[in-house]
């Protein structure tokens, strides 16, 4: 038996490593670096109903322990993703992927989600209600538990695939948001998305990012992510997918001890395109060092 295998929402993943949405494009772009079929799954770039250019430049700022981005969900729109991007992905990736969707209204989310019903290489929908750099959408939906419950329920009613709700850490109580998602019918929760951050250009005295602030991610958020993964895993019965600053095999195991059933790798893909491959290769040796026989045995062990 594969000692790295995990089960998530009834699907067997060959390992728990999933590139996070927004850091791995539509997947096929990374096939020129390594065989992406080694991945547990792939969370595709955030997709909206209509094409989006995203925010004006500049929209990235470097930090000592990560980066700030305000890309603004730039994407070609759901129809183009289905007709072009997923066709390209199918040529490079034999398994199914997770589609991440965003929107500015309930109807945006609902109409976008419905488009991916019956798409052969999509197995789950990740509802992005946690993006901090999309005006009028994203995180605006993810900071109110009543809205989270209502939106989750509305999307769940119209889709045929499992629903993952991606939570924002920019809230007073992450547990309240997770419980609301579960009550709304979410099949799983993913967290954490980025924290709100800002950098100032000392030459101009103005914010570097064109829209002033953006989402801070990278190794600096890892301890915050672990705390929130643990807190959410302790208060819901549905699976949790952990992410936030994870950059190596040891941190994958730490997230799984905290309660994660699978792990998404985000910013590290932008630093090192081979990051997910390296982590998968490292996991058996690190597990041997820690006397871990099967990776699924450690899920929620700290709770």
* Residue 186 and residue 163 in contact, taking contact as beta carbons nearer than 8 Å: yes
* Residue 167 and residue 264 in contact, taking contact as beta carbons nearer than 8 Å: no
Quote the Cα angle for 4-42-87, to 5°: 135
User: CA–CA separation, 126 vs 101, rounded Å?
Assistant: 6
User: CA–CA separation, 214 vs 66, rounded Å?
Assistant: 12
Q: What tokens were used for 66?
A: 């990560």
User: CA–CA separation, 33 vs 41, rounded Å?
Assistant: 17
* Residue 105 and residue 234 in contact, taking contact as beta carbons nearer than 8 Å: no
Q: What is the largest CA-CA distance in the chain?
A: 59
Report the Cα 16 to chain-centroid distance in Å.
Answer: 13
The answer to whether 235 is a known catalytic residue is no
Instruction: Choose, from 63, 131, 235, 276, the residue flagged as catalytic.
Output: 131
Quote the Cα angle for 285-239-226, to 5°: 60
Q: Which residues are catalytic?
A: 131
């Amino acid at each position: 038996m594969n000692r790295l295998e995990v089960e998530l929402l009834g699907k067997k993943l060959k390992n728990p490593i999933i590139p996070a949405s927004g850091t791995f494009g539509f997947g096929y772009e990374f096939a020129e670096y390594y065989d992406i079929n080694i991945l547990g799954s792939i969370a595709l770039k955030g997709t909206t109903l209509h094409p989006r250019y995203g925010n004006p430049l500049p929209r990235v700022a470097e930090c000592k322990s990560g980066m700030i981005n305000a890309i603004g969900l730039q994407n070609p729109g759901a129809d183009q993703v289905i007709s072009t991007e997923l066709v390209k992905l199918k040529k490079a990736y034999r398994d199914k992927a997770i589609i991440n969707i965003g929107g500015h209204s309930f109807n945006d989310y609902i109409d976008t989600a419905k488009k991916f019903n019956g798409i052969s290489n999509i197995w789950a929908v990740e509802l992005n209600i946690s993006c901090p750099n999309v005006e009028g959408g994203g995180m605006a939906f993810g900071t109110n538990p009543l809205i989270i419950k209502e939106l989750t329920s509305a999307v769940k009613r119209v889709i045929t695939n499992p629903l993952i709700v991606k939570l924002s850490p920019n809230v007073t109580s992450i547990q309240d948001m997770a419980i609301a998602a579960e009550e709304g019918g979410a099949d799983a929760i993913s967290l954490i998305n980025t924290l709100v951050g800002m950098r100032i250009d000392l030459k101009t005295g103005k914010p570097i990012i064109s829209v002033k602030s953006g989402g801070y991610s990278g190794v600096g958020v890892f301890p915050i992510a672990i705390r929130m993964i643990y807190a959410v895993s302790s208060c819901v019965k549905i699976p949790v997918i952990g992410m936030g600053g994870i950059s190596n095999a040891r941190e994958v195991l730490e997230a799984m001890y905290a309660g994660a059933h699978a792990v998404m790798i985000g910013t590290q893909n932008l630093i090192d395109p081979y990051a997910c491959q390296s982590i998968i290769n490292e996991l058996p040796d690190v597990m041997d060092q820690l006397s871990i026989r099967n990776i699924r045995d450690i899920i929620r062990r700290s709770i």
